[in-house]
Chains A and B, each alone.
Chain A
């Protein structure tokens, strides 16, 4: 049995004290010690992005970070993105409305990566979104609905009018998905506050 050490972290705004093994990843600490199973494990080598969380305002693969390295840090997981009472953020709503979600296993990491991207670049181009999400693998979909969701969350206009990028023709004629934002929907920055 490996040694365990105490760490103090702020997770989704709440201070948490937890004992972790010195060899334990941040991902395992979140999933098994803090019961936050929204962050997923797939490749465990930093290639798939399913475990993406924010440490401070940086997105990291939590499978590549030791829990002890996160001592004293502020961590945001997918569970922390929704607003009060589970009100979805605009980004989360956009994922649903764009049809970006299928099996959903990659989606927590994808949403967190997109959150970090928008925090750094509030008005990304389609190419910048693709670049920003290149570290998150999805096997169900064609990615372009994910890109559209992020663009829409950045620029709240109907997708059909979103105009200038290479992903703007992607919806078949039958699926001009409207993206109405419910009243009071939290913006990404509100939700992470």
Chain B
């Protein structure tokens, strides 16, 4: 009953009435306020730090520098433990703290932070792909090992198959595409709190991966995992930006040092300095037959990371592993380098590199279509992998009817119908590798009155995990979602979950919850047999049990089973994605997230401004447990995609400082920037690995927005663009450079 319903959001009431408690709304008694001390440039050699004046400010409890932390400096990170709790010897990006202050009031902390005297020499910084690759480039990270240790290439990969050199193509398209750094801009800035507690520490953070943070803090502080509790209130938007530890380790050290709870609330500007999306430069040479059939892909990709690897290093490898997109490519050669730079760490960001990759892949398809005189929809249909066909040689084949999704997008946008003047349409599609390895556990407690508590470690950051998990449990137990309470956001209460990312939760945690419910039902059967006699014929369904032909409710069974005792039935479920050490990603994708996007735009030739007339996003989700929630996410992803397509990019000055730091100068879409029409359509073939055939969802709407919009601009005007964002200025300049004859021809 409840699976497939567009049930209202669990927690919605609290959110519209101001009662939802976000991490920053929690007040810890006696908490000290923390301020960071940073320098006014990206890279500097720290000569000395004088904290005496700061420490003398009334109300200041601690002013710490690297010298006050264990030696060697504790370092952390999800892939490499390369990020220091505080900068040691050298800062590596603008905003990296040299010292931190904890004081009774925000004013005292602020005053003290300004009084910390840092003597430093600014050093040349690496800010771009070209600078990172220069032969005389300063090394961002020293003391690395291996053949790349003397370069700024953190890792490199060679993917591919077949023989690109020997491949013969009738049409070769060669181009370089750039995708800039953009920032997450969750409306909730990061807040971190910590307090010493019963021989351990409790940390509050609106984090997507509470269990990863728990293990990280335990390791840094030398505590057993059981002594570290992470309370993770529902994040106020995350989008990948709240996956991994940032300043939680620093705040935990301060809490232990001062013996007081400590709280650090970042400003929005500081969140810009803390994390961002990896910038990509993709040089792509693509061969086609005269009929538009792909012959080869020959690709050089640079992913520009920040000063520390964070999870950005995996963003680069995982996204470029699918550098051929959703297409069949006979020969492929993909060389990828993840580069370090003196910029904020690149981390996960919705799409995990797929928007960067598809910007190049899909633009190449459009260019080939134009050169070969083939319709842009048609060239894609000719190359899309059909169900069961490989997109990466030897790996998981296509697991959906992708052409169905693409055709659906084309139909909804009115592909092929006449266009008004200065208008154009574009279409694109892409796949993302979903979660590979990792496990999720759930506990379901069926109470005496038939209601249930689900304990699941997923983070509900707006995607609606509480709602969907409640719907799954309600369906399995035959009760209403209102009778299900989902407990999450506390490592002290819910069992282990690897992480909330890669659109994995419905598949992984959803399966764990469904299994836990089935475990409950098995135990109910045992309980009934015990209560009604071992020989009783017991059959347990969803919500009812048949005992010797009699239909009993779960409550009847519980009352009979626990007569004079009371109790509850506790079921456990789990799902594992198995590791495969031979696989380039450490394990095969559990599913592909497929999206097709089509847009119609109108170009103002005088100003270069774009009006998005219509925007269609089609998500192949297998089965929508809650269709409204899927569509809401897909629409949000579409608009976020328009953000990085039309307006968003972080701009650095020569000192490595972000010039557009904050909401005034870094624009994200508002109500006035959205398409006149926005449609989210779903493909549901129940062919996913999750419960009831579900796949993950919620990222796809971003994948192909940029190439679809750019292609529409080309159709409207003839201008071809290779660099994002497609600002009015950039489009206007491209229009000025068009040969005079082109104008007017294409409308």
Which A residues lie at the B interface, using CB under 8 A?
Answer: 1-2, 21, 31-32, 36-45, 47-48, 50, 77-79, 81-82, 86, 88, 92, 95-97, 99, 101-108, 111, 129-131, 133-147, 166-167, 169-175, 177
Contact = CB atoms under 8 A, between A and B. Distances in A.
B627 A174 contact: yes
26 contacts: A1-B107, A21-B107, A40-B187, A44-B268, A45-B663, A47-B662, A48-B187, A48-B663, A79-B19, A96-B13, A99-B632, A103-B186, A103-B234, A106-B187, A107-B15, A136-B670, A140-B462, A141-B632, A142-B639, A143-B671, A144-B635, A171-B631, A172-B680, A172-B681, A174-B628, A175-B628
B143 interface: no
A50 B25 CA distance: 14
Contacts of A137: 185, 187, 663, 668, 670
A4 B114 CA distance: 23
Which residue, of B9, B238, B681, has the highest number of chain A Cβ atoms within 10 A? B9
B235 interface: yes
Contacts of B632: 99, 102, 140-142, 145
Chain A to chain B: the 3 pairs with minimum beta-carbon distance, closest first: A38-B18, A105-B236, A103-B462
B624 interface: yes
Interface in B1-55: 6, 8-9, 11-22, 24-25, 27
A95 B669 CA distance: 20
Contacts of B59: 1
Interface of B: 6, 8-9, 11-22, 24-25, 27, 58-59, 105, 107-108, 184-189, 234-239, 267-268, 461-464, 624, 627-629, 631-633, 635-636, 638-640, 662-664, 668-672, 674, 676-682
B187 A143 contact: no
A38 B236 CA distance: 13
A115 B106 CA distance: 33
Given A99-B6, A104-B11, A140-B237, A82 B635 contact: no
A143 B674 contact: yes
Nearest to A94: B16
- Chain A binding surface SS class: loop
A100 to B, nearest CB: 8
B268 A42 contact: yes
A142 B635 contact: yes
Nearest to B8: A96
Contacts of B635: 141-142, 144-145, 170
Contacts of A106: 187
Contacts of B184: 139
Nearest to B105: A1
B16 A95 contact: yes
A174 B678 CA distance: 15
Nearest to A102: B462
Contacts of B20: 104
A166 B633 CA distance: 20
A101 B12 contact: yes
Nearest to B237: A103
Given A40-B236, A47-B664, A138 B187 contact: yes
Contacts of A44: 267-268
A45 to B, nearest CB: 6
B11 A172 contact: no
A47 B662 CA distance: 9
Given A44-B268, A139-B186, A141-B636, 4 more contacts: A104-B462, A108-B18, A145-B632, A167-B677
A174 B682 contact: yes
Contacts of A31: 25
A169 B108 CA distance: 53
A80 to B, nearest CB: 9
A139 B669 CA distance: 8
B671 to A, nearest CB: 4
B658 to A, nearest CB: 15
B16 A88 contact: yes
A104 B671 contact: no
A130 B19 CA distance: 26
Contact of B631 (A41, A82, A99, A131): A99
A48 B722 CA distance: 31
B16 A107 contact: yes
A43 B237 contact: no
A166 B677 CA distance: 6
Which residue, of A43, A111, A140, has the highest number of chain B Cβ atoms within 10 A? A140
Contacts of A175: 6, 627-628, 631
A73 B24 CA distance: 27
Nearest to B638: A142
Given A104-B462, A105-B188, A169-B679, A99 B18 contact: no
Nearest to A129: B671
Contact of A134 (B8, B662, B664, B670): B670
Contacts of A142: 632, 635-636, 638-639, 674, 678, 680
B676 A166 contact: yes
Contact of B6 (A2, A105, A174): A174
Nearest to A135: B670
A17 B367 CA distance: 67
Contacts of A139: 184-187, 237, 239, 636, 640, 668
A57 to B, nearest CB: 19
A106 to B, nearest CB: 5
Contact of A133 (B22, B639, B671, B678): B671
Contacts of A143: 639, 669-671, 674
A182 to B, nearest CB: 12
B192 to A, nearest CB: 15
Nearest to A105: B236
Nearest to B619: A172
